[in-house]
Structure 1
Amino acid sequence: MMTTQQAPAIQVRGLEKSYKELRVLRGVDLTVARGSIFALLGSNGAGKTTAVKILSTLLRADAGTARVNGFDVATQAADVRESISLTGQFAAVDEILTGRENLVLVARLRHLENPGKVADDLLDRFSLTDAGGRKASTYSGGMRRRLDIAMSLVGNPPVIFLDEPTTGLDPQARIEVWQTVKELAARGTTVLLTTQYLDEAEQLADRIAILHEGRIIVDGTLAELKRLLPPAKVEYVEKQPTLEEIFLALVGADGGKAHDRNIGTDA
């Protein structure tokens, strides 16, 4: 018999959910390995958020089973909640408080010892120490999202759900969040990420599942998914820079402070 540490971080079998006549989930199966990044990819309305709500005990499934960190979401909901953190589509920070005060508040709510040290450690980990004394309302979109994820990690939950974490962010902020997610997995945290951005799944995920009309239609590594289509035959390719490379070359190195590159004017 597998121990909790040996079992997958998340295991889902035959998950179903309907709202009256609308069948949102139609028998979803998923297995997420510990310490990995798993991307649940799908368009709006595919059922991604519904699946996350069931896995985080915010919603009950109509049928099927789901275990998170070895615990059944239906019969061991309290144990599941102690094992996870959920970050929704929009940053849930208190803009009246400073970044540090937000973290201290969450640490106190979780009854942790020395909440000030917990806050300072997370500010350092997420490169927010210099901004820790500022109100969160003054943060950029990327900083606010990093603070939101830092708040989710108070207490070191082994599993974190990120529901479309880069929605509404500019390209530079998205890249900041991507780096944060990669660092989470490198430290052993299991990340289930929902997204509708194909490049996000490609950049981050160890495995990708595509959810379409309530069903998983494919589940595998990026290399496995690429093998589903025949490779294109190319005689000659002149590599052009990507928009991301152009963007970072212009603003990434100096945070956009050097604007004296003559690529056009706004006269």
Structure 2
Amino acid sequence: MDKVFLERPSVNEVLRDKIRKYKKEHSRLSSNQIARRLGLPPSTFHRLEMGDVKNPGLDICVTVLNGLASKKDTAEFVREYFPEVHESLYGHFYETQTQNLISDDVVQYFKDESTYKMMIKATTHHGLSENEVLQEYGRQGHKIFMKLAADGTIKNKNGRFFHSDDLQRVNTETTIKLSNLILNEMVNEVRVHGNPINSKHDICYQSVDGSKVKDELKQLASEFSYNVRKIMLSPENRGEDVFFVSNLIRKID
């Protein structure tokens, strides 16, 4: 059995520690007052505080964590201690957040080496200014972006182009093309500067038993995608810098 799993605190220990930390930070509040705030019977709260509830249900766990900790703590707890629930919720989130496929007449600009960066920027939360478009592409480029805005693919607000309200995605072929364009730029950075200034890239390859590692690697890729999206889509992380992150698992035939 995994040693890390054996050393992981139990559910009741996590809740007990969260309660004790909260009480230490809010010393004026009694256990009964905190219980009322959480909407829990004082007797139940007392047992949680003592660590006497051996297998607290998900509803109680979420109630305590949402009331005493951050939403991030709650999400991480569910992901670690209730993986089936997390997988179901994340699967629903992923499906609903990626269902809008960008149309073929727009995808061409993502695949074009001269325009892909502008399209990436224009479909981020920060957006792309009209001045940048004019500087890069002149009037013709500005005309293209105004058409995309008119079609509703992106929006023009106060002189900046943004993606539509719904998150969008490009097809698999375009995703691969974008990855190639980014990798080529990284190679050029290495050639010119000796190391990629703004990049981090690593690969690992080895002969293995595919039947043994395939599922584990797929799970690892899924976990990686989850963590990347969590970081990228968090409102508190929004800013002007555009990062491109991808994962690749490929059997070499």
Q: Which has the higher contact order (CA 8 A, sep 6+)?
A: 1
Which TM-score band applies after superposition, normalised by the shorter structure? under 0.3
For the pair shown, which has the larger CA radius of gyration, 1 or 2?
Answer: 2
Instruction: From the two aligned structures, give the one with the greater strand fraction.
Output: 1
Instruction: From the two aligned structures, give the one with the greater helix fraction.
Output: 2
TM-score, normalization by structure 2: 0.26
